[in-house]
């Protein structure tokens, strides 16, 4: 079994994420600033949880090479993406809040806790399968919308997009895919696909809630 089998099987769903209006508009420079600011605050929480999740996966990695690769990715997350978010929050004079102090979207709370639950309670391969859409889909988004940046005169959105369009980022994602592929078998494919698909759906819902600025209310 190969990563490509997961890609084909889930194509209809992941293309919906890639083509979500939030993504199209950010690459065109047309996304309303209010929505972007809302995304930043929600995503700040998500990234914090995502770093915890990576730490769990690092602890479960099978060998030194996999550990080193995952540590590199955590390093990128902490020192590139998360650092960029801190800068952006300062630029917009926004203050990142803890979960108890902010209103989260339902999908943000559900997705970040889903990742932590799979990583801590299921095996290493399942944890990787649940986590990979988060990285891989941002690469697919970059590939699909990159050409729109030429006419995008929003400097902030350009900088945001640049994080996911570097050779370094591509290499890190490819390393993750190789780790998953090594752990993919006929026997575990169904389970792996289940987690991969759930996270793709969570990515869609994350954008969808943010696009509507829809916090969790009953
Ligand atoms: C909901 C949500 N899903 C995925 C990402 C993208 N992302 C999160 S961590 C990471 C690794 C590199 O820092 C990447 C690409 C996001 N920001 N928000």
| Mutation pick for ligand 1 pocket among 18, 39, 43 (CB with most ligand atoms within 8 Å) | 43
Work out how many domains the chain is built from and give that number. Answer: 1
**Per-residue model confidence (pLDDT) at position 182:** 93
Find tokens 């190969």 and name the residue.
2
Residue 197 lies in a domain: yes
**Per-residue model confidence (pLDDT) at position 122:** 96
| Mutation pick for ligand 1 pocket among 50, 72, 162, 205 (CB with most ligand atoms within 8 Å) | 50
> Would you state the structure tokens that stand for residue 85, as one six-digit string?
């978010």
Residue 158 lies in a domain: yes
Residue 149 sits in which domain range?
A: 3-211
Residue 170 lies in a domain: yes
* CATH code (residue 58): 1.20.910.10
Residue 217 lies in a domain: no
- pLDDT digits 0-9 by tens, 17-31: 999 999 999 999 999
Q: In which band, very low, low, confident or very high, does the pLDDT at 206 lie, cut at 50, 70 and 90?
A: very high
Residue 216 lies in a domain: no
| Mutation pick for ligand 1 pocket among 53, 134, 168 (CB with most ligand atoms within 8 Å) | 134
Measuring CA to CA, which residue among 136, 149, 203, 166 is closest to residue 24?
149
- Structural contact between residues 149 and 141, judged by C-beta atoms closer than 8 angstroms: no
pTM: 0.96
Q: Which residues have C-beta atoms less than 6 Å from ligand 1?
A: 43, 46-47, 50, 76-77, 80-81, 134-135, 138, 203, 206
131 Cα: distance to centroid of ligand 1 (angstroms): 10
Residue 65 lies in a domain: yes
- pLDDT(189) > 90: yes
d(Cα 192, Cα 185) in Å, to the nearest integer?
Answer: 9
d(Cα 126, Cα 115) in Å, to the nearest integer?
Answer: 10
Q: How many CA atoms lie within 13 A of 144 on its CB side?
A: 17
Predicted-complex ipTM score: 0.93
Q: Of all residues in the chain, what percent carry a pLDDT higher than 90?
A: 86
- pLDDT(203) > 90: yes
- pLDDT(9) > 90: yes
- pLDDT digits 0-9 by tens, 48-93: 999 999 999 999 998 999 999 999 999 988 888 888 889 999 999 9
**Per-residue model confidence (pLDDT) at position 179:** 94
**Per-residue model confidence (pLDDT) at position 80:** 83
d(Cα 108, Cα 61) in Å, to the nearest integer?
Answer: 26
Give Rg (Cα) of the chain.
Answer: 17
d(Cα 157, Cα 126) in Å, to the nearest integer?
Answer: 33
Residue 178 lies in a domain: yes
Residue 218 lies in a domain: no
Q: What are phi and psi of 183, to 5 degrees?
A: -100, 10
d(Cα 218, Cα 42) in Å, to the nearest integer?
Answer: 19
- Structural contact between residues 91 and 25, judged by C-beta atoms closer than 8 angstroms: no
């Amino acid at each position: 079994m190969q990563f490509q089998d997961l890609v084909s099987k889930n194509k209809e769903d992941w293309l919906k994420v890639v083509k979500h209006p939030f993504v199209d508009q950010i690459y065109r420079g047309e996304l309303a600033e209010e929505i972007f600011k809302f995304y930043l605050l929600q995503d700040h929480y998500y990234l914090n949880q995502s770093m915890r999740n990576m730490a769990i996966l690092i602890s479960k990695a099978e060998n030194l090479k996999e550990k080193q690769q995952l540590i590199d990715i955590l390093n990128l997350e902490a020192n590139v993406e998360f650092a960029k978010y801190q800068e952006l929050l300062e630029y917009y004079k926004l203050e990142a809040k803890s979960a108890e102090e902010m209103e989260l979207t339902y999908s943000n709370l559900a997705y970040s806790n889903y990742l932590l639950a799979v990583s801590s309670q299921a095996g290493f391969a399942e944890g990787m399968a649940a986590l990979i859409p988060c990285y891989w889909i941002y690469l697919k988004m970059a590939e699909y919308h990159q050409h729109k940046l030429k006419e995008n005169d929003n400097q902030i959105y350009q900088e945001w997009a640049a994080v996911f369009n570097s050779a370094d980022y591509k290499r890190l994602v490819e390393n993750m895919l190789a780790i998953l592929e090594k752990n993919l078998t006929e026997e575990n494919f169904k389970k792996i696909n289940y987690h991969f698909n759930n996270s793709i759906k969570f990515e869609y819902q994350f954008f969808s809630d943010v696009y509507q600025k829809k916090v969790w209310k009953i």
